[in-house]
Amino acid sequence: SVNFGAIQVVGTGNITVTVYADGALIAFPSFSGSGVKRLPDGFKARKWQLAVDTTGTVAEIHLARTMKALRNV
């Protein structure tokens, strides 16, 4: 099991990422273009799923345990 605490999106337009941990909805952060956001604490899961809705394009999505870890991406 892993606990992801941060998400980074690289893209254009309005982007919403719906995040599921072991089938449970845990977050739905929205971005205007590229950005980084924290995810809620306390969700260790084996299976992580993402659903993406955008008015533009998404080039990359990264999940990390910490915000600091995304600096190396």
pLDDT digits (tens, 9 = 90+) for 31-72: 999 999 999 988 899 999 999 999 999 999 999 999 999 987
Q: pLDDT at residue 20 above 80?
A: yes
pLDDT digits (tens, 9 = 90+) for 4-15: 999 999 999 999
CB 54 within 8 A of CB 9: no
73 pLDDT tier (thresholds 50, 70, 90): confident
Q: What phi, psi does 3 have (nearest 5°)?
A: -115, 110
Q: What is the pLDDT of residue 52?
A: 98
Please tell me the pTM assigned to this model.
0.93
**CA distance to 2, 11, 42, per residue, from 14 (Å):** 28, 9, 27
